[in-house]
Amino acid sequence: MVSHLVSEVSTAKLHGILLGSVGPRPIAFASTVDKDGRPNLSPFSFFNVFSANPPILIFSPARRVRDNTTKHTLENILETKEVVVNIVNYAMVQQVSLASTEYEDGVNEFIKAGFTMLESDLVKPFRVAESPVHLECKVTKVEALGNEGGAGNLVFCEVVKIHLDAEIIDENGNVDQYKIDQVARMGGGWYSRANLGLFEVPKPISTLGIGVDQIPKHIRLSSILTGNDLGMLGNIEQLPSKKEVQNYINENRELRTLISSGDPNNLHKKAQQLLKSKNVLGAWMVLLAENEI
């Protein structure tokens, strides 16, 4: 490992390391108005949801590292205590990036970036019509984390009304994770399009897996199986019995051939294949068949 004592690293360098390390970061495309009602629109990736009850989002328009100035968004929020957080999808990312341009005070980034202003129901700032989700928020608190360049300013946003594009709602009423097509910020100039990397992991919330520590040693120390393979195997609640394994072997000609090869690695490779297709029980049957070699 390469280690850095934070007190010995410059703010600019630290900023780069933190942005390169913590990600992908969701994007709050924040719409505000100043006290005269003039709109502003800017993206922030120091952002996430933190609570469902009350429903609280936090984003941070940080003080600029290079000159310690603050953003129009922050000034507007301190004046009016309202914001609409719009979610960013792939189809709008180039315009969102354009809206992050540091135009002068009073320039309307809806117009500069070519977005459509949509009136909100409960707050003054406009919604971005092109965005798939609009979260109308009342700002309950703004908390400065420091007063030098790079200092964050936490904006606590209580969501009061949510608008979802009907196109992204699935047949169960949930937000379809492919169709919402979110993008996120990474380090440097990098973004990630979330739905190109989607995969599902069964939630272990209601089960109590045996754990990797309870996996028999000859399997746990396999040179074939990966950490992810062991994680899936450890999430089973109970191992199949000797009798179940025997029945499985009797019904499975391919497995009998692998056993007769006399090489445990052949069984581990077969189990890994089964794990790839999410057949955890099948993988366990094959691995426990090793006792028959």
Across 51-87, b (16+ Cβ under 10 Å) vs e yields: eeeeebbbbbbbbebeeeeebbbbbbbeebbbbbbbb
- Angle of helix 280-288 relative to helix 227-234, nearest 10 degrees? 100
**Binding to its own copies (CB under 8 A): which residues in 261-290?**
none
**Binding to its own copies (CB under 8 A): which residues in 80-109?**
87, 90-98, 100-103
Give whichever of 140 and 241 is closer to its own copies, judged by the CB atom. 140
Of 35, 106, 146, 257, the one binding its own copies (CB under 8 A) is: 146
Of 78, 139, 142, 169, the one binding its own copies (CB under 8 A) is: 169
Across 208-242, b (16+ Cβ under 10 Å) vs e yields: ebeeeeebeeebeebeebeeebbebbbbbeebbee
Please state, in angstroms and rounded to a whole number, the distance separating the CA atoms of residues 219 and 231: 12
Residues 219-248, one symbol each (x = binds its own copies by CB under 8 A, - = not), give -x-----xxxxxxx-xx-------------
Residues 36-75, one symbol each (x = binds its own copies by CB under 8 A, - = not), give ---------xxxxxxxxxxxxxx-x-x--x----------
Q: Any contact of residue 189 with its own copies (CB under 8 A)?
A: yes
Q: Any contact of residue 192 with its own copies (CB under 8 A)?
A: yes
Structure-token pair, residue 211: 């754990």
Please state, in angstroms and rounded to a whole number, the distance separating the CA atoms of residues 246 and 241: 9
Q: Any contact of residue 139 with its own copies (CB under 8 A)?
A: no
Give whichever of 162 and 293 is closer to its own copies, judged by the CB atom. 162
Q: Any contact of residue 117 with its own copies (CB under 8 A)?
A: no
Give whichever of 152 and 240 is closer to its own copies, judged by the CB atom. 152
Q: Any contact of residue 217 with its own copies (CB under 8 A)?
A: no
Examine residue 24 and say whether the peptide bond preceding it is cis (omega within 30 degrees of 0): yes
